[in-house]
Amino acid sequence: MSLGVVILAAGKGTRMRSALPKVLHPLAGRPLLRHVLDAAEAVGAARVCVVYGHGGEMVPSTLADAECAWVEQAERLGTGHAVQQALPAMTGVERVLVLYGDVPLIEPETLNRLVADSAETALGLLTMTLADPTGYGRIVRDADGRVLRSVEHKDASDAERAITEVNTGIIVAHRQRLEDWLGRVGNDNVQREYYLTDVIGLATGDGVDVVTAQPETLEEVAGINDRIQLAELERYHQRRTAECLMRRGTTIIDPARIDIRGTLECERDVVLDVNLICEGRVRIGAGARIGPNCLLKDCEIGPGVEVLANCVIEGARVGAGARVGPFARLRPEADLGRDCHVGNFVEIKKSQIAEGSKVNHLTYIGDTEMGRGVNIGAGTITCNYDGANKHRTVIGDGAFIGSNTALVAPVNIGAGATIGAGSVIVRDAPAEQLTLARGRQVTIEGWERPVKKPKV
Ligand code: UD1
Ligand code: CA
């Protein structure tokens, strides 16, 4: 049985007070609408159509890679009218599921349940029961508990307003029947809108048995109208992600202070201290520890690694047992071998650093191939850029670079070479030798400090 998904996203989002369309605001680093598109994919939608609002061209252009049809609803005439705009894109599917671009946390399992439970009938409805149902459409049932219709809060009588079962807005309907019902929906109501919810009364009038299902949590069906609700759902989502990690064997010191914007995979016994932000795809090996205030983006941290406080690691790989930070920055293509140490105020870009090498303080290493067991003194800089081109530095196994050295690339430092502190190295330094490039120290015999002339 093929399923089509229509996602309504034509709302103005006035209360966001934003130049960005509401459904493009990020939750866990991805646009709200992206979450809904993912849910549609997860339920195996054969076709997806997003209804976006007038002037909202930024929506399809931002999500141009999504496999869906885009339909502009030029005038916002109501949810029923909006779904109608999407029906031409639904040809060929048997049933249509309606979702909302500003309801990002809907669970595919809930949708699957709704779709399965209503498989034998033409209309399924996701409802929930709220202590305070104000504002929502109410589900009116007959004495036997069968759904009769849904009535919008604004159109409801006092008796109907006392009903606590409300419409989440999410429905699944037989496509052809839906087309027929929508054709019969009018706008004779308080808001002068074509209500999607009116199809419920039309269906029961046609003798259709309306089946309802409920979500596991209210957050699943919570819509976002302003930045306060956005922040609330963000925290809820982050909490759940953290709980998922903890259940699988990760220690999170404070699950209220972690943000996963992408995917984080941890092997067992990883410890994550507070204020970690992960972006893109991050993998952390067994027993690794991440100190407070770190940003990890698209990187791989090996087993047993210790990342100390305040590090930024992006597009990098850190080998098993290495120690990084505090205050280190690993940039794209930094590749640290086993047991390396990269210390404070060190920046590494596009460089391989082999096993056991140490770059402990105040250093920039760029476009470098470094062997094993190298020791880089404090304040060493690879001068990799001449203003036009980038050049490589090669440092052999076991080399020792004295503090405050400038390695002017392209340059090779041989294996076991020692470079005297304060050198500016512009030519290759041979293996196993001491190379110095600095002014010789002299002491001037009998020199005396000038003294001020006494005033007359
Ligand atoms: C709707 C339901 C209500 C339900 C509530 C749950 C209707 C008539 N009412 O009310 O029963 O309890 O959701 O939150 O469906 N939209 C469009 N084009 C339009 C109108 C709306 O794309 O012409 C989109 C909006 O962007 C929004 C969604 O549909 O994301 C819901 O529209 P809204 O007008 O806010 O309906 P509610 O009053 O919330
Ligand atoms: Ca709404």
Q: Is 361 a catalytic residue?
A: yes
Assess contact for 294 and 310: CB atoms under 8 A. yes
Q: How far is the CA of 114 from the centre of ligand 2 (A)?
A: 21
- Segment (H or E) for 381: strand 381-383
Q: Measuring CA to CA, which residue among 16, 65, 389, 3 is closest to residue 225?
A: 16
For residue 446, the 8-state DSSP code is T
Pairing of strands 368-370, 341-349: unpaired
Assess contact for 404 and 377: CB atoms under 8 A. yes
Output the ligand 1 site: residues, CB below 6 A: 8-11, 51, 73, 76-79, 81-82, 100, 102, 136-137, 150, 152, 166-169, 195-197, 223
Burial class, 299, CB count within 10 angstroms (exposed 0-12 / middle 13-18 / buried 19+): buried
Q: How do residues 215-229 score in pLDDT, each as one tens digit?
A: 999 999 999 999 999
Q: Where are the beta strands (DSSP E) in 130-242?
A: 138-141, 147-151, 165-174, 210-213
Catalytic residue among 81, 153, 174, 361: 361
Atom index in ligand 1 nearest the CA of residue 75 equals 23
pLDDT value at position 57? 94
Q: To the nearest 10°, the Cα dihedral for 79, 80, 85, 88?
A: 130
Check whether domain 227-435 has CATH 3.90.1150.10, yes or no = no
Under-50 pLDDT residues of the chain: none
Task: Evaluate the omega torsion of the peptide bond into residue 326 and state whether it is cis, within 30 degrees of 0.
Answer: yes
pLDDT value at position 362? 98
Give me the phi and psi of 333, to 5 degrees please. Answer: 70, 20
Mutate to test the pocket of ligand 1, among 14, 15, 79 (most ligand atoms within 8 A of CB): 79
pLDDT value at position 456? 82
User: Rounded distance, CA 223 to CA 204, Å?
Assistant: 27
Q: Whose CA is nearest to atom 13 of ligand 1?
A: 169
pLDDT value at position 67? 96
Please provide the CATH number assigned to the domain covering 3-221.
3.90.550.10
User: Which residues are bridge partners to 9 per DSSP?
Assistant: 52
- Classified as helix, coil or strand, 437 is coil
Assess contact for 322 and 336: CB atoms under 8 A. yes
User: Which residues are bridge partners to 264 per DSSP?
Assistant: 282
User: Rounded distance, CA 189 to CA 320, Å?
Assistant: 66
Through-space distance between the first and last CA atoms of the chain, rounded to whole angstroms: 109
Q: How far is the CA of 405 from the centre of ligand 2 (A)?
A: 63
Packing angle of the helix pair 175-184, 79-86 (nearest 10 deg) = 130
pLDDT value at position 441? 93
- Classified as helix, coil or strand, 185 is coil
For the chain, give every domain's residue range: 3-221, 227-435
Q: Say whether 227-435 and 3-221 share the same fold.
A: no
Q: How far is the CA of 169 from the centre of ligand 1 (A)?
A: 7
DSSP output for 269-325: T-EE-SSEEEEEEEEE-TT-EE-SS-EEES-EE-TT-EE-SS-EEES-EE-TT-EE-
- Segment (H or E) for 335: strand 334-336
Q: List the Cα angle 58/61/64 in 5-degree steps.
A: 145
